[in-house]
Amino acid sequence: MEPIISAAELAALVERAAPGGAGAADLALLDVRYRMGGPTGHGEYAGGHISGARYVDLDTALAAPPGSRGRHPLPDPAVFGAAMRAAGVGAGSEVVLYDDWNGWGPARAWWLLRWAGHERVRVLDGGLAAWKAAGGVLSTEEPPPGDGDFEPRPGALPVLDAQGAAELARRGLLLDARAGERYRGETEPIDPVAGHIPGAVNAPTTENTGPDGRFLPAPELAARFAALGAKPDAEVGVYCGSGVSAAHELLAMAVAGLPTPALYVGSWSEWGADPARPVATGPQPG
């Protein structure tokens, strides 16, 4: 299954899944609005969402509480599973995720579902803006909680801890998905120390998409990652501030047709919290 879906394709899915429709496979539509440092997206969801979509809160459903493992650690599988079932996700569901911002929240949910063993999951390319531009209408009716039978099977995708990330930066390719100024250590608006993991290569998520918020064509993405060293046979890992925008990088690499790299879930929020860990600043390694 392709990792992204167009607005036109989603409209056809929604029509077939509607009562009286042609009978599509089980569709679970998840609204994953999340803005870094902002309030929950439920208010915006309530003001208008794709019909049939259920809201999923990233901070409570897609992450454990912040602590020594970072700002967005992996969620407890039982908590994650319950949230997905309430969102209508079943073992055979085709899951489609979207937001109204930059795709980070849906990408995190896409990665978590695949990490938990669910393969039939896609992200709406261009998000809610693409839906509206294609003539899609919004609803304010919130469906009741779902009764899905999804059961997480964690471990289907690779993850890194701090030591593993440090080792990968030395022997393979560790990508830092944050903005260049944060990578270089010029500013750090969230975490206690500025800079990057020694040996990591900067690859901002903003370069995955065009001005319309849609992913660049697969050949362009493949060329971008190849130039960074992420070729099909390379050992690659990705991190960001807290393991959210890095998921967008993993999604972009999937769009490019590349294998899914390992995610350092704790990311910089875990790494930089330990003063014993080394910190690099400045431009890309030579």
- Could you give the residue numbers annotated as active site? 240
Q: Determine the 3-state secondary structure of 226 from DSSP.
A: helix
For 130, the token pair is 């693409």
Q: How many other CB atoms are there within 10 angstroms of residue 18's CB atom?
A: 14
CB-CB contact of 239 with 165 (8 Å): yes
CB-CB contact of 258 with 251 (8 Å): no
Smallest CA-to-CA distance from 262 within 164, 171, 188 is with: 164
CB-CB contact of 150 with 119 (8 Å): no
In whole angstroms, give the CA distance from residue 33 to residue 47: 12
In whole angstroms, give the CA distance from residue 238 to residue 225: 12
For 240, the token pair is 């960001």
